[in-house]
Amino acid sequence: MGGGHHHEPFKVPDYKVYNNWQAFPQLAAHQERLGRIGLKDPWIRNSVYLFDYRWASQGGWPRMVKNTLFRGWKTGVVAAIIVIALEESYMKMKHGHTSWGAHH
């Protein structure tokens, strides 16, 4: 079940790699906003992977949503046009009219 393409030994990154959250403007701005109201996010380093474009997730949630919603939309539009054209030509051949001008 998993394809067997993930082999040991797994490389676990050192936690110190994620202590560079100040290098990401979004996280620095987040910490600054919290600081203005007297708060601090002790777990901010856990959000570094969302903004570190070197990793496979590249871009975190915004990019994932964009890729999910918009990937393949051009192919989908072309497929929809082809299906509509085929359906309308079939209706024209079988019933003598299309659904655009049909009187039910």
| Rounded Cα–Cα distance for residues 69 and 87 (Å) | 27
Are residues 34 and 41 in contact, defined by beta-carbon separation less than 8 angstroms? yes
Question: What beta strand segments (E) does the chain contain?
Answer: none
Would the pTM count as exceeding 0.85?
A: no
23 versus 1: the higher-pLDDT residue is: 23
**pLDDT band (50, 70, 90) for residue 97:** confident
pLDDT digits (tens, 9 = 90+) for 22-78: 888 999 999 999 999 999 999 988 888 777 766 554 556 777 777 777 888 889 999
